[in-house]
Amino acid sequence: MWLELQDVARSFGSHRAVDGLSLQLARGSIGCLLGPSGCGKTTALRCIAGFEPVDRGSIRAHDRLLAQPGLALSPSERQIGMVFQDYALFPHVTALENVAFGLHRLPGPSRKRRAEEMLATVGLGDSGAKYPHQLSGGQQQRVALARALAPEPELVLLDEPFSSLDIELRERLSAEVRAVLKSLNTTALLVTHDQQEAFAVADVVGVMNQGRLEQWDAPYELYHRPASRFVADFIGQGVFIAGEIVGGNSVQTEVGVMHANGSGTWERGTAVDLLLRPDDVIHDDESTFKAEVCQRAFRGAEFLYTLKLPSGARLLSLVPSHHNHAVGEKIGIRIEPDHVVAFEKK
């Protein structure tokens, strides 16, 4: 594995910011640590970069030991590129000189040529003479990426790289950054609180909660097969409805009997909460089961309806926008889940 963390912990006083973090990232893969503010993702990134020591566990990159208690290579020894949240560009030098900054081991002509190549790679080949204040936020972000990639690091770390950009630019640049990293076969790890950003960039995503890694998996698996209730709540949109095990993994709910995914088998009569995503709830005029529209959000091609069941429980449903129903109207629905995830009710 190109990057491997084993049981890494980091505390600040009595607060355990990272608690037993273990993960592996293959060469050329893009990983992401995703979670809410304060979950420990940035502290984990700083431990990998060498800005924070580890209290327990070990960090290795390309079979080199980077950190363990009592041993820590300096950031400059780790062969890691870093893209900071605020880009950290030098304001008094040009974009080309910013990119060339970390290439001091190369002779002058080679340094300039490599910096020009990297600016061209990120689509800024004609902007080398500009100063940071003459560049847009998105262009500054790409200069920062080019600077991090120029020394050909073993690993690139990105700390909330798109957080200061507007939504439209964030979506476009996240796709561009992924394309650049993949074209260079660069191993990378980013941290973000934005799941859309994580899914757009990363091959594998780790959801963190209170310093612990809840699940390290492909985005598809996180969405359809969450390993914990926290992951199910945090990833995507969805609601839980009450159910009861009626045999095997079959769950009786207000909207019918469904077969829940998951390991093992519950005892008959076990009370569970069953996760339903908006794409599991299909609008069907022919259905005799009705739900009341209590909220709606127009999204162009679709409406996101919040529907109230006879019990008062609520579901979300994505419906093509030509089905334009008013709040208070009752519509027919049917449930067609690809993956039904249930957690025992606490």
Name the phi and psi angles at 4, rounded to 5: -140, 125
Q: How many domains does the chain have?
A: 2
Residue 88's closest CA among 17, 137, 45, 144?
144
The residue from 174, 207, 233 where one domain ends is: 233
**Residues 168 and 262 reside in one and the same domain:** no
- Cβ atoms of 242 and 345 within 8 Å: the answer is yes
- Whether residue 192 sits in one domain with residue 112: yes
Domain identity same for 218 and 271? no
Q: Which amino acid is at 125?
A: G
End residue of a domain, out of 233, 253, 268 = 233
Same domain, 131 and 144: yes
pLDDT for res 339: 82
Instruction: Report the CATH number that the domain containing residue 245 is assigned in CATH.
Output: 2.40.50.140
300 in the same domain as 198:
no
Residues 42 and 185 in one domain: yes
With b for 16 or more beta-carbon neighbours within 10 A and e for fewer, the 273-304 pattern comes to bbbbbbbbbebeeeeeeebbbeebeeeeebbe
Query: Residue 263: what pLDDT?
Result: 52
Same domain for 116 and 16: yes
Range of the domain at 221: 3-233
Residue 229 sits in the same domain as residue 315: no
pLDDT tens, per residue, the chain with 346 residues = 689 999 999 999 999 999 999 999 999 999 999 999 999 999 999 999 999 999 999 999 988 999 999 999 999 899 999 998 888 899 999 999 999 988 877 777 888 899 999 999 999 999 999 999 999 988 998 999 999 999 989 899 999 988 877 788 888 889 989 999 999 999 999 999 999 999 999 999 999 999 999 999 999 999 989 999 999 999 988 899 999 999 877 899 999 998 887 655 788 999 999 999 999 999 999 999 999 999 999 999 999 999 999 999 999 999 999 999 999 999 999 999 888 888 988 7
Last residue of a domain, one of 213, 233, 253: 233
Q: Are 205 and 285 in the same domain? A: no
Q: Based on the domain organization, do 130 and 25 belong to the same domain?
A: yes
pTM of the model: 0.90
253 and 335 inside one domain: yes
Closest CA to 323 of 311, 315, 333, 313: 333
- Domain at 174, CATH number: 3.40.50.300
Q: Are residues 273 and 187 in the same domain?
A: no
